[in-house]
Amino acid sequence: MAMMKASAHDSTPADSETTWFLYLIRCKDGALYTGITTDVDRRFAEHQSGKGAKYLRGKASLTLAFQQKIGSRSAALKAEASIKKLSKADKETIINTGRAMK
């Protein structure tokens, strides 16, 4: 099995059977953070412990606001980029409807 380099997103081996997820985390101040991972529970725990993204370090009371199975890493990266371009209101709509992509 080929290995891919560790990235800021995840350090999971490249594998055609690996499923990627998109997630949104809400900070105490209401800000939303968007990310991708192969294991949402593990990644959220990393963020809560301060070992995840620098943006979330020191931000108390993180809540997992949304998660969606995407599929491939490529599709997840594209979805993440699209979500990051959206307004906060549009991100709130995704959270409220429970669906980011068709």
User: What is this structure's pTM?
Assistant: 0.81
Q: Tokens 């490249």 correspond to what residue? A: 14
Per-residue pLDDT of 9-25, as tens digits, reads 555 555 567 999 999 99
Give the pLDDT score at 46: 92
Residue 49 has pLDDT above 60, yes or no: yes
Tell me the longest C-alpha to C-alpha distance in the chain. Answer: 42
Residue range 36-65: mean pLDDT, rounded: 89
Task: Please name each of the domains of the chain with its CATH number.
Answer: 20-97 (3.40.1440.10)
Q: Tokens 């963020």 correspond to what residue? A: 47
Q: Mean pLDDT across the chain, nearest whole number?
A: 84
Give the pLDDT score at 60: 75
Residue range 25-31: mean pLDDT, rounded: 92
Residue range 97-101: mean pLDDT, rounded: 78
Q: Can you say whether the dihedral through the CA atoms of 49, 53, 56, 61 is positive or negative?
A: negative
